[in-house]
Amino acid sequence: MALVEHLEAGDAGNGPLAGTNGHFDPASETRHQGDRWKPGGTAERSDRGGTSRPAHRQTADEQLLESTELAEPSPRAPELGAFTHTEAWRVLRIQGEFVYGINALAEVGAAISVFGSARFGESHPMYAEARRLGGLLADAGFAVITGGGPGVMEAANRGAFEAGGLSIGCNIELPFEQAGNPYTNLAINFRYFFVRKTMFVKFSNGFVIFPGGFGTLDELFESLTLVQTRKVSRFPIILYNRAYWSGLIDWVMGTQLAEGTISPEDLDLLVMTDSVEEARDLLVDCYRRRSWLAGKHSVRADRAAIHPAEFRPPASGPEKADGQ
């Protein structure tokens, strides 16, 4: 109303004209006494020598809400959505997915992420072990986070769910549909792997990694890299089932360590176990002490007991040469 009165008064000022919301509008920067305001920053001379009411111009709300009219009525018009496949729009979608995920998980307290194969059925021994671990973690006060799918993920969610705990599934859109398992009380669906993986690390206080495929290895080595480079700290990584993981550890030691591409201290970042109770106890201890010193439980200590001449004693602190 103040803007209309200002215009009707025939103000002779040459300053920028405020827009409809009271903010500076670059398109309307120039106007003069006796001109009639027109959209797009142009002006029309008034015969009365004064300034009349501004002509109608489209507001941002109008532009947003105005639908595009087709030459002929059609219920679908794919060409109108072409802009959603541009990089700029994809960046906005990614940003929105981060907001969506963080908002959904913002109130999660202590939590452990459990990974493993989606291919293990209910009769597989690892399904039973993951289910038991999920229950133990829930009883210890942890939420259980998984990828939300079948197999080990379902088993860990199921154990937490049946124990009355918080069971979280972070599902992912895949070319072959991965249906969410029914044992979650908080389910989140993601389009992008890297957004989903960020949620696993950000909202977890440790990883337990059961036997699995390439996706499981991806989570294992990414978490190792983040701890080794000190992007995250106090983050236990536990490999469950020695028989399954021993071959990988043999290669890490026999090739990477032997070639000097990792340091002996890096093997302190991992623990292997065949006991879900030990896994639970290590996670609880780490959480309470606010530190992760694997010590006698680490892979390095484990292998030093077998080959004592090849290893120095585990470091008492968090030193990691590669991380420095």
Round to whole Å and give the CA distance between 303 and 311.
8
Residues 105 and 39 in one domain: no
Q: Supply the CATH number for residue 276's domain.
A: 3.40.50.450
pLDDT confidence bin for 311, thresholds 50/70/90: low
Q: Is 255 a residue whose pLDDT tops 50?
A: yes
Residues 178 and 289 in one domain: yes
Cβ atoms of 126 and 211 within 8 Å: the answer is yes
Residues 18 and 164 in one domain: no
Q: Is 7 a residue whose pLDDT tops 50?
A: no
Determine what percent of the chain is predicted with pLDDT higher than 90.
56
Question: Does some domain include residue 316?
Answer: no
Residues 184 and 249 in one domain: yes
Residues 303 and 177 in one domain: yes
Question: Does some domain include residue 137?
Answer: yes
Per residue in 57-72, pLDDT (tens digit) is: 888 888 878 888 888 8
Residues 105 and 38 in one domain: no
Residues 23 and 172 in one domain: no
Question: Does some domain include residue 151?
Answer: yes
Q: Is 236 a residue whose pLDDT tops 60?
A: yes
Round to whole Å and give the CA distance between 148 and 150.
7
Round to whole Å and give the CA distance between 153 and 216.
11
Residue range of the domain that includes 27: 2-55
SS3 string, 14-67, reads: CCCCECCCCCECHHHCCCCCCEEECHHHCEEECCCCCCCCCCCCCCHHHHHHCC
Q: Is 225 a residue whose pLDDT tops 70?
A: yes
Q: Is 237 a residue whose pLDDT tops 70?
A: yes
Residues 51 and 105 in one domain: no
Residues 48 and 120 in one domain: no
Question: Does some domain include residue 72?
Answer: no
Looking at the structure of the chain, the number of domains it has is 2
Residues 6 and 120 in one domain: no
Residues 165 and 302 in one domain: yes
